[in-house]
Structure 1
Amino acid sequence: MPRTSDKADRFTESVIRETFRLAARYGAINLGQGFPDHPCPPELKAAACAAIEADDNQYPMTFGTPQLRAAIAVKTARTYPGWEIDPDTELCVTCGATEALVAVTFALLDPGDEVVLFEPWYENYRPNAILAGAVPRLVRMHRPDWSFDEAELRAAFGPRTRAVFLCHPNNPTGKIYRAEELAVLAELCRRWDAVLVVDSIYEHIHYLGPGEYRPPALVPGLEDRTVTVNALSKTYAVTGWRVGWTVAPPRLTTAIRKVHDFLTIAAPAPLQAAGVAAMGLPASYYTQLAADYLERRDLLCDALERIGFDLRHPDGSYYVLCDTRPLDPSGDGVVFARRLITEIGVSCVPAASFWCPEHAASGRSMVRFAFPKRLETLRAAIERLEKLRI
């Protein structure tokens, strides 16, 4: 038989997407994959339809239409005063945040370079590093507040450190990194000449109040060495549209654009027009978004605690990690998650895949629930989950 690459043998397919298929097969309520089941803002649908009707159906400019890049720059400056982006030299529009992360990884890392990853992580980061031939250096976050040990972080850096990947707010833990933690990262990135890559796709989904979320690109010392990745997907409930972007200093953006060009050429033209409409939504949209997700967080987390799960209410994103051992002394999250799908009719994701194989025991008993759903969807799921108490 023809051989496959050694790189592809070093990671599995996405556990999240596998869970999605299993949930569909058994008709389970999907609280595993993080997609909203409510409609996107009507302004986005109108803009996309208008662009299609106007025959905006051909290749756009490879790294994003001028209109969308300008709108992203304006919206960013409006949201975070002092963050000024040059749309001509510091932005690259991509096919979602996933492609953006691949493009950034290939643009920054050569074989043998080292990349610092926090675990538990969003499952794409480690395979991306492996595909680039880079060496992951792992820093573990610890319960209950998912803090990291500063000495362990310092030990992960060295002469070959090229990049650090940070999901902020974090998936899967819901952690928002504190100012002092970002300051340590800034010091280490400067000392070792490393780039901080920030997956900020949940930037508007946090529950700590105004001003509590700080973009790392505004942290002193990180202004000229941060790549910020974002997308329409989560904020505007359009995870299937695949429109994302990167913000980075010009030299880094030039490299990212070249890699992006040969990965996907360009993001869908009519959906970039919808992105312009999204960037024009008022500040009240984001305030209401956070309030709506806070209601969903508290509804689901309170119910999960009542049923018997051990958890910490997340500070950001729309996921909650739960320890299953109070309900299942075997502590096998994979078996537990499958039982939920096949017997209870609710899906979640076994969390062991958010740790490297050597540290998988740290997440063996844990599962991740997602709550970007209508209230009636969550209530229906909770009604089924109550069977666990019997």
Structure 2
Amino acid sequence: MAKVSFPYGLSLLFMSVVPGAWRRTAAGAGLLSSDGAVAPTIFAEMSAAAARTGAINLGQGFPDEDGPAEVLEAARAAIANGANQYPPGRGIPDLLSAISEHQRRFYGLQVDPEREIIVTAGATEALTATLLALIDGADDEVVVFEPYYDSYAAAAALAGATLRTVPLRAPDFQPDLEQLAAAVTDRTRIILINDPHNPTGAVFRREVLAEIVRLAEKHDAIIVTDEVYEHLAFHAPHTPIATLPGAAARTLTISSAGKTFSATGWKIGWVHGPADLITAVLTVKQYLTYVNGSPFQPAIAVGLRLDDSFFDGAAAVLARKHEILGAGLRAAGFDVLAPEGGYFTVADATALGGADAAAFCRALPDRAGVVAIPLTAFVSDVRRGEYSGLIRFAACKRVEVLEEAVSRLAVLRS
């Protein structure tokens, strides 16, 4: 069993309120520009471009449709019935039970709702609290798959860890197992995976998951898995890595309600795993948001208990949206790398003069009235050249919005 220790991460949490310490930590995470100002992200830049030009924003991954009526009504009822004050620190008991039931129902996982689950302010807080809790110091390493969701590097830096990356290369975005084995060493504290994967849309093959478990056991590492797109895998049911032999005792599983129920603004997430690891995470989490989303917690409990038809339908609807987007991108001259799950489609713009994807994306709002994000926003500086022509488009929009977007993109072919 991987050891549980968290004083260094906890000390960094308190250091972060000190301006000098915050600046050193933030600079290491790439959060500050060279002049010490907060560095703007490509996401903020592209959203501002959408507002300035009236472009359709396929850059950020948020739906433009509400989730199931039962879930929305449950939130309204909770507010009306007074669920407006602090909930319990671990989460309201009904949601903890619903998460446990969900994991058993879909995956056969047995999770103690009282000791092995924490409700968090979305998956991002779950991830940050986990790394702050479990990183011992600068000698610890966090292995991630690259491209990676941008908060992974920031959270690792805030926790004082060294980030080591394993590339996922087009067209299938699966890791090379030899490169993975070389990256995981006795200094590896955490192997962090995102499956289905943002931004590539890949779903990790069984042999990849098995190798992660083998390496974690060999090097006594903790597996942290971000599974927010778990119900949005298109070709086969999602396989949590915690279901593999030997994995559950060293795995912290993170998910959230935002993607599944089209409620990204509610920020209701959770993390579950062995009780001692969860206690360590809770020790940090209580000094971040403390608690959150009191009226949304009972609503998400309702959502997690919806019929299978809802979950099957959510994946099918999103897969159809990807088909519409992919067909339009191909018609516009992009080379499309069809996703296996999640919100995003990756396309290669090289044939359209987009070998520099960042420059292509900056010109796209004025040129075609559409916003997208270069994949280089999700990679380290040393690997930018390997992903230079690739662009991420969000498919989680209304069908008519996607149809209008691909109609606008047709101008690129002319």
TM bucket (normalised to shorter chain) is over 0.9
Partner of 1:55: 82
Partner of 1:93: 119
The question of 1:354 aligning with 2:378 is answered yes
Q: Residues 1-390 of structure 1: matches in 2 within 5 Å?
A: 5-10=23-28, 11-12=30-31, 13-80=40-107, 82-112=108-138, 113-209=140-236, 211=237, 213-328=238-353, 331-390=355-414
User: How far apart are the structure 1 equivalents of 2:254 and 2:42?
Assistant: 22
Tell which deviates more after alignment, 336-345 or 59-68.
336-345
Deviation, 1:22, is: 2.5
Whether the aligned pair in 2 keeps the contact of 1:355 and 1:362 (CA below 8 Å) is: no
Deviations 1:247-301 (A, max 9, x none): 1110110011111110001121001121111112110001111110111011111
Give the share of equivalent positions with the same residue, in percent: 39
Deviations 1:71-99 (A, max 9, x none): 1111221112x211100011000001111
User: How far apart are the structure 1 equivalents of 2:153 and 2:206?
Assistant: 26
Q: Aligned pairs, how many?
A: 385
User: How far apart are the structure 2 equivalents of 1:229 and 1:24?
Assistant: 33
Q: Secondary structure at the match of 2:24?
A: coil
AA aligned to 1:346 is V
Deviation, 1:332, is: 1.3
RMSD over aligned Cα, in angstroms?
A: 1.3
Q: Please, which runs of 5 or more residues in structure 2 have no aligned partner?
A: 1-18, 32-39
Deviation, 1:318, is: 1.7
AA aligned to 1:21 is A
User: How far apart are the structure 2 equivalents of 1:208 and 1:103?
Assistant: 32
Partner of 2:11: none
- Using a 3 Å threshold, how does the CA distance of structure 1 residues 153 and 254 change in structure 2: closer, same or farther? same
AA aligned to 1:242 is K
Q: Please, which runs of 5 or more residues in structure 1 have no aligned partner?
A: none
Tell which deviates more after alignment, 303-312 or 234-243.
303-312
Deviation, 1:19, is: 2.0
Q: Secondary structure at the match of 2:301?
A: helix
User: How far apart are the structure 2 equivalents of 1:57 and 1:143?
Assistant: 47
State the TM-score, normalized to the length of structure 2: 0.90
Deviation, 1:362, is: 1.5
Tell which deviates more after alignment, 356-365 or 181-190.
356-365
Deviations 1:7-29 (A, max 9, x none): 21231444224322321232211
Q: Secondary structure at the match of 1:166?
A: strand
